[in-house]
């Protein structure tokens, strides 16, 4: 069933678990998320990045929305990492439940001004807004942020930002990175604790691919209610097709699509269990 992202995250916050938000590109990805969520009796979030929205257009958004609406468990559709008002307007008009109004590359005051504007726009359409204070390093889908450009989230700035903007949930930077971690992740849990003491809306952690279970659990205990996942699911999809190309070129394409879906579904199901949302589809 199609549901508000805010409702999903506030319920997760109430019961101390987190929801997986999975960046998707096609039908196979959508089926993998829905199948995994239904099998685990879990809520989930389908995410679309601006460049994928540009590529697939309104038909792809309609696919995501219909898949969420037809699911037996609560699922929302979210626009990820967007700093373009026109794209945000397009997504809202198409019916997405929430957007990440991403002004994190801007100075604090400019980020705040942009987020305020997008929050007013989204709320007027019944949608909700995620914002980002701080700058996450790494590379994902053509977006690269060098280490020297990163900035950890300041707890007191975060409080000011949330109060002034009226956003519904906040993505924080505590040492997490987009894409692949090279070496043991180093998350600043003391900083996360201070942030959660200052603000009381659901917190979001990007770069959940590769985080060990103990860090995931500690993040949830300190207020994280949404983890973004892209790299591991995308890599599993690409791995399937690379191996298929070397070993089997005679199978029916539909059989291959089903197998690729199952490969991604396995990864997604593990994340759902890791985040503690399995069995929570009926939480309220």
Q: What is the torsion angle, in degrees rounded to the nearest 10, for the CA atoms of residue 215, residue 218, residue 220 and residue 226? A: -20
Query: Which of the following is catalytic: 80, 102, 154, 168?
Result: 80
Note the helical H segments in the chain: 5-15, 27-39, 50-70, 85-94, 108-124, 155-165, 189-198, 213-221, 231-247, 253-275
- Give 153's DSSP letter: P
DSSP state of 151: B
Per the CB < 8 A criterion, the answer to whether 165 and 128 are in contact is no
Give the angle subtended at the CA of 44 by the CAs of 254 and 82, to the nearest 5°: 95
Structure tokens at 85: 């008002």
**Beta-carbon neighbour count of residue 269 at 10 Å?**
20
Active-site residue, 141 included: no
Instruction: Return the SS3 of 94.
Output: helix
Q: How far apart are CA 16 and CA 19, in angstroms?
A: 10
How does DSSP assign 166-202, residue by residue?
--SEEEE-SS-EES--SSS----HHHHHHHHHH--SP
- 3-state DSSP assignment of residue 6: helix
The catalytic residues are 80
């Amino acid at each position: 069933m199609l549901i508000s992202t805010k409702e999903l995250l506030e319920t997760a916050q109430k019961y101390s678990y987190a929801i997986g938000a999975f960046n998707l590109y096609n039908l196979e990805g959508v089926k993998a998320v829905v199948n995994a969520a239904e099998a685990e009796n879990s809520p989930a979030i389908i995410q679309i990045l601006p460049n994928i929205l540009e590529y697939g257009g309104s038909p792809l958004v309609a696919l995501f929305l219909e898949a969420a609406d037809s699911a037996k468990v609560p699922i929302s559709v979210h626009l990820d990492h967007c700093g373009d008002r026109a794209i945000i307007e397009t997504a809202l008009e198409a019916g997405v439940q929430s957007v990440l109004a991403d002004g994190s590359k801007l100075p604090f005051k400019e980020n705040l001004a942009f987020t305020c504007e997008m929050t007013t726009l989204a709320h007027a359409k019944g949608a909700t807004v995620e914002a980002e204070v701080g700058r996450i390093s790494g590379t994902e889908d053509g977006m690269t942020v060098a280490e020297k450009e990163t900035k950890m989230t300041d707890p007191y700035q975060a409080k000011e930002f949330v109060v002034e903007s009226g956003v519904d949930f906040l993505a924080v930077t505590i040492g997490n990175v987009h894409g692949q971690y090279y070496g043991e992740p180093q998350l600043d849990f003391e900083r996360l604790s201070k942030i959660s003491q200052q603000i009381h809306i659901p917190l979001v952690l990007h770069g959940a691919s590769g985080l060990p279970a103990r860090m995931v659990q500690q993040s949830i205990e300190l207020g994280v209610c949404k983890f973004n996942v892209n790299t591991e699911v995308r890599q599993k999809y690409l791995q399937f097709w690379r191996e298929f190309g070397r070993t089997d070129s005679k199978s029916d394409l539909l059989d291959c699509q089903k197998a690729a879906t199952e490969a991604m579904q396995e990864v997604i199901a593990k994340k759902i269990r890791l985040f503690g949302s399995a069995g929570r589809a009926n939480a309220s």
